[in-house]
Amino acid sequence: MGKILFVASYKGGVGKTTVSAGISASLAALGKRVLVIDGDFHMRCMDLVLNSESDFIFDALDVLLGRCTADEAIIKNCGVNNLDFLPAPLIYGDDQPALDNADELMAELKDNYDFIIVDSGADTPGIYDAFAEFADEGIIVTFQQATAIRAAEVTAGKLSALGLESIRLVVNSYRNKGVRKKILPDVFESVTRAGIPLLGVIPYDPRIIEFQEKGILPFTQKKFFINSFEAAFGNIAMRVLGDKIPLFKNVGNFTLRRKYVSPKVNEIFEEKIYDLQNQDFESQDSSSGSEN
């Protein structure tokens, strides 16, 4: 039986979609079967982050209204093995019929996946509650700014009212420079203000924007090093799995994959690293031979 994670915040622009995609890709890299659902029916954008905007005919609304099966609407292995995607509808109006069969859909999906991650939107009547009520855990995304922290508090209250007992916080785009200059609160102060247990911290990195524009997800590039935000997402994914990973393990520096990964992940990445090493050696040998 899979676990449903509901990623939310009442404040827009804090990176719910970025966090949803990053955690999903990291869990998939750990060998888990993951489904991402774009739950933002008014402002869908997960398809852009996953580079799948032209890959679907049916969507989540079609499934909920019985126009197709879930299997027909889900995009398989979206950008990475084990990562599937159920897109939001192209157009959604407030006059849509009630989604009475959401419980049947979520129960079906939980049988097929280890994790279902719902990237929520604003509090759209019917949609927000339909997904949140069946979630096993809420993940609230926030910035360090006071307005985002306030929104996180409000979001936690809403999710609690819907019956969610496990709610954790992800501080996204964390700017340590702002903390040093005493412009922004540090992690401890942010968590204290929000009053929500901390799941993880994603450091600010301008490369995330570039990667999103190219549809590149964490842990999908064949390279020897992981960067800070990949390490942060990896830490969060392992904490979701129950591993006691230090909050800032390998965050803030470049780290060899083989030194970073736990035994679980090492089995997955070791073969790729070995292949890359052989390719590098072969290319070096051939280039040195051509010079001679």
How do residues 116-169 score in pLDDT, each as one tens digit? 999 998 666 677 888 898 999 999 999 999 999 999 999 999 999 999 999 999
| pLDDT tens by residue, 43-83 | 888 999 998 877 788 999 899 888 999 999 999 998 788 99
**Range with lowest mean pLDDT among 15-29, 33-47, 190-204, 246-260:** 246-260
- 250, pLDDT greater than 90: no
The per-residue b/e assignment along 129-159, b for 16 or more CB within 10 angstroms, e otherwise, is: bbbbebbbbbbbbbbbbeebbebbbebbebb
Which burial class, exposed, middle or buried, applies to 93 when counting CB atoms under 10 A from its CB (0-12, 13-18, 19+)? exposed
Q: Is the pTM of this model over 0.85?
A: no
253 has a pLDDT exceeding 70: no
CATH of 3-256, one of 3.40.50.300, 1.10.260.40, 3.40.718.10, 3.30.70.370: 3.40.50.300
CA distance 20 to 10: 15
Closest CA to 45 of 200, 215, 174: 215
**Order of strands across the sheet that contains 34-39:** 83-86, 34-39, 115-120, 3-8, 137-142, 167-174, 198-203
Whether residue 27 has pLDDT greater than 90 = yes
Q: What is the pLDDT of residue 64?
A: 87
**What sections of 66-218 are H helices per DSSP?**
70-73, 102-112, 127-132, 146-161, 176-180, 187-194, 207-214
